Amino acid sequence: MKLASRREGRDGALIVVSKDTKKAVDATHIAKTMQAALDDWDNASVALQDLYDNLNQSLARGAYDLDFNALCAPLPRAYQYLDGACYISHIRRNRGARGDSLPEDILEAPLIYQGISHGFMAWNDPIELPDGDLGIDFEAEIAAVTGDVPLGVSSAEATKHIKLFMLLNDISLRTLIPPELKRSFGFLTGKPSSSLGAIAITPDELGDLWDGKLVSGKMNCWVRGEKSGELESGIDTPFDYGDAIAHVAQTRAFEPGTIIALGTVSNEDESVGFGCIGERRAVEIINEGSAKTELLQFGDVVKIDHQDYDGQSLFGPIEQKVAPIA
C-alpha cells in the first residue's frame, strides 16, 4: 500500500494514497500520524490495507483528488535516522579524488553514520542554508523504515522488520565535511536536514523490485534542469538493508519509525551518471585533474525520482530549490 502525511502540525496527518497516486483518503481514524501507525503496525496495517483496497476500487468514503503540494514528509520526525555509504564505487571515487585508497576492511561491514532525525523536509521544501559557499550537494537514496528491531538481529532476519520504503535526499555540505571528519567524531554540521519523497510504500507494493534485500529500479537525477544520472539501485553494493540493520543492531534495538538508508546510489558504469555532484566532481578530478561541475548554489534546483522499469514514479519526486534562509 501507499501512505503519506498531509501537512498538519509537526508530524502531519496520516492519509492513504491510491496506487496511481491520483486519489487519497484520510486515515486519521486508524492512526493520527505515520508514527502512530508504525507504533501499532500489526493492527493499523490491516485497517490501512483495507482502506487502500477500497480506495483503489473507488469504494472509500471521503476520497479526494491528491494534491502533492499539501503533503509533508511521510515521517517528519523520526526517533532515529541512520545512513550508510554502501555502494563501493561511490566510496572509491570520492577517496580516489583525495589520493586515498579503499580501507582494507571495506567489505567487512557497512559504513553508517547517524544523522538529523528531528526535522525531515517535504519533497518540495526549499533547501534553506545560511551561506551559498558551503559546498551544497544532493544525494539520491532509498530509505527503509523499520518497526521494532531486536538487539542482535541477524542480517537474514533484519529485513522482516522493514515496514516502508521512501525516497531520500541526503543533503551534504562538502566544504564542512572534510575538516569535520578529520576531527574523527563524524558528520555533524556537514549534514543538515534531509528531505523525503511524499509517498511511503510497503515492501509488497514494490513487487519484483524488492527481492528481500535490495530495491531495484532507476534512480533518475536532474541538476539545474539537466539529467545528471539514471542509475540502477539494486546492484553494485556488497551490503543490503539486512546487513545495515544488523550492523547497527549489534549494540542497540530499534524503535518503530527508525529510518535507515544505504547511501548514495552509485554504479560502476560511469556512463549512467551519478547520484550526487560530489561523485561527478571526484571522477572529473581523477580523469581530468580538476573538478568542472559546480556544486549547488542559491537558485539552483535539484530533482530526483526513483522509477520502475516502465518509467512510473514509485515514491513521487523530490524537487527542491536551494535558497538563503528566509
CATH 3.40.50.300 for domain 81-321, yes or no, is no
Decide if pLDDT at 216 tops 90: yes
Task: Provide the pLDDT confidence category of residue 181 given band limits of 50, 70 and 90.
Answer: confident
Decide if pLDDT at 257 tops 80: yes
Q: Is 227 in contact with 273 (CB distance < 8 Å)? A: yes
pTM: 0.97
Task: Provide the pLDDT confidence category of residue 100 given band limits of 50, 70 and 90.
Answer: confident
Q: What's the mean pLDDT in 136-144? A: 98
Poorest-pLDDT segment among 87-101, 195-209, 250-264, 305-319: 87-101
Q: What's the mean pLDDT in 248-259? A: 98
Determine the Cα–Cα distance for residues 264 and 269; give it in Å rounded to an integer. 15
Decide if pLDDT at 184 tops 80: no
Q: Is 37 in contact with 48 (CB distance < 8 Å)? A: yes
Q: What is the pLDDT of residue 170?
A: 97
Q: Which helix (H) or strand (E) holds 42?
A: helix 41-56
Determine the Cα–Cα distance for residues 204 and 209; give it in Å rounded to an integer. 9
Q: What percent of the chain has pLDDT over 70?
A: 100
Task: Provide the pLDDT confidence category of residue 185 given band limits of 50, 70 and 90.
Answer: confident
Task: Provide the pLDDT confidence category of residue 55 given band limits of 50, 70 and 90.
Answer: very high
Determine the Cα–Cα distance for residues 279 and 266; give it in Å rounded to an integer. 9
Decide if pLDDT at 171 tops 80: yes
Task: Provide the pLDDT confidence category of residue 239 given band limits of 50, 70 and 90.
Answer: very high
Q: CATH 3.90.850.10 in the chain: give the residue spans.
A: 81-321
Average pLDDT, the chain: 96
